[in-house]
Amino acid sequence: MRDIAKLPVMLKDLCLSTFQQLWEPLGEQAKEQNWSHADYLSSLCEHEINIRYQNKLKRNLKQAQLPAGKTLSSFDFAHTPSLNKAKVKDLAENTLWVKNKENLLIFGPPGTGKTHLGVAMHTA
């Protein structure tokens, strides 16, 4: 049998902070619910990936220095009548394009709300 006391140190060395936090509580849950080893490991990996994604998103948003308070509900569509309001709302609500890592390009002259729309797409 391996020395389980070394596990937290090894997880820290491997930069697996979520594993380090959850290996014991998820291990107990795995025992209670008769998970297989693969199910237990898969659950730990899922948590690690999700936390890393959330942290990366927070870092990127902080680095982007986007202006605060820009939402679709506060956008004045009357200011840019050629803009298709239904298409914008559809893009904001149906974010499959984000999951597919597709780009959204917003073009127009200065003062037409491009930054406002870009930020609003993030907060929708």
Are the CB atoms for 23 and 11 separated by under 8 Å? yes
Run of H or E residues at 7: helix 7-13
User: Distance between CA atoms of 4 and 39, rounded to whole angstroms?
Assistant: 20
pLDDT at 123: 65
pLDDT at 1: 54
pLDDT at 40: 97
pLDDT at 32: 97
Digitized pLDDT (tens) for each residue of the chain, 124 residues in all: 578 889 999 999 999 999 999 999 999 999 999 999 999 999 999 999 999 999 998 999 899 888 888 899 899 988 888 899 999 999 988 889 888 999 989 998 998 899 999 888 866 6
Residue 49 buriedness (CB in 10 A; 0-12 / 13-18 / 19+): exposed
The C-alpha angle with vertex 10 and arms to 7 and 13, in degrees rounded to 5, equals 155
Residue 13 buriedness (CB in 10 A; 0-12 / 13-18 / 19+): exposed
The phi and psi torsions of 90 (rounded to 5 degrees) equal: -65, -45
